[in-house]
Structure 1
Amino acid sequence: MEEINQLKAQLDLMQAALDHINQGFTVFDRDLRLVAWNRGLYDMLDMPKDIVKRGSHLEAFIRVNAERGEYGAGDIEGKIARRIERAKLFEPHYFERIRPNGQIIAVSGTPLPQGGFVTIYSDVTEERRRQETLEQTVAERSRALQQSEDWLRLVTDNIPALIAYLSPGPVFRFANRRYAEWFGQSVTSIAGRGAKEVVGAELFGELEPHIERAFSGNAVSYEYQRERPDGTNAFMRSTLIPDMTKDGRTLGIFVLSLDATDQKQAEAALVQSQRMDAVGKLTGGLAHDFNNLLAIIMGNLLSLNRAETPIARTDLDRKVAPMLDAAQRGSDLIERLLAFSRGKAIDPQVVALADILTSAKTLLEGSLPSSIDLKLDANDNHIAALIDPTQMETVLINLAFNARDAMPDGGVLSVSLSEADLGTGEAEKLGVAPGHYALVSVRDTGIGMDQETRLKIFEPFFTTKSFGTGSGLGLSTVYGFIHQSGGAIDVQSAPGAGTCFSIYLPFTQCVSGPGNASEPSSWDETLKGEGELILLAEDDPSVAQAVTDQLQRLGYSVLQAESAEDAKNLALTLPDIKCLLSDIIMPGQLNGLALARSIRKDRPDLGIALMTGYTDWSALAGKQASCEFTVLAKPFSDMQLAETITHVLSSANGTDGS
Structure 2
Amino acid sequence: MSRSNAHPDALALASLDADGYRLVFERSPQPMWVFDEKTLVFIDVNEAAIAIYGYSRDEFLRMDITQIRPPEEIPTLLQRIRSGAAHPPRVWIHLTKSGRAIDVEVASKTLIIGGRAVRLAVVRDVSEHRALEEQVRQAHKIETVGQLAGGIAHDFNNLLTAILGHTEMLAEYIAPGDPRAVEIAGIRDATDLAASLTRQLLAFSRKQLLQPIVLNLNDVLDKTRRILARLIGEHIELVTEPGPSLHHVKADPGQMEQILLNLAVNSRDAMPDGGRLVLRTRNVRVSRADARRLSMKEGDHVEVMVSDTGVGIDAAAKAHLFEPFFTTKDRMRGTGLGLATVYGIVKQSEGYIDVESEPGCGTTFKIYLPATRELPAHQGVHDRPSGDGGSETVLVVEDDHAVRSLIGDVLRRRGYRLLVAESGRQAIELVSKHEGPIHLLITDMVLSGMNGLAVADTLRATHPSIKVLYVSGYTDDALMPSGFFEASGAFLQKPFTPVALARKVRGVLD
Q: Which has the higher contact order (CA 8 A, sep 6+)?
A: 2
**What TM-score, normalized to structure 1?**
0.34
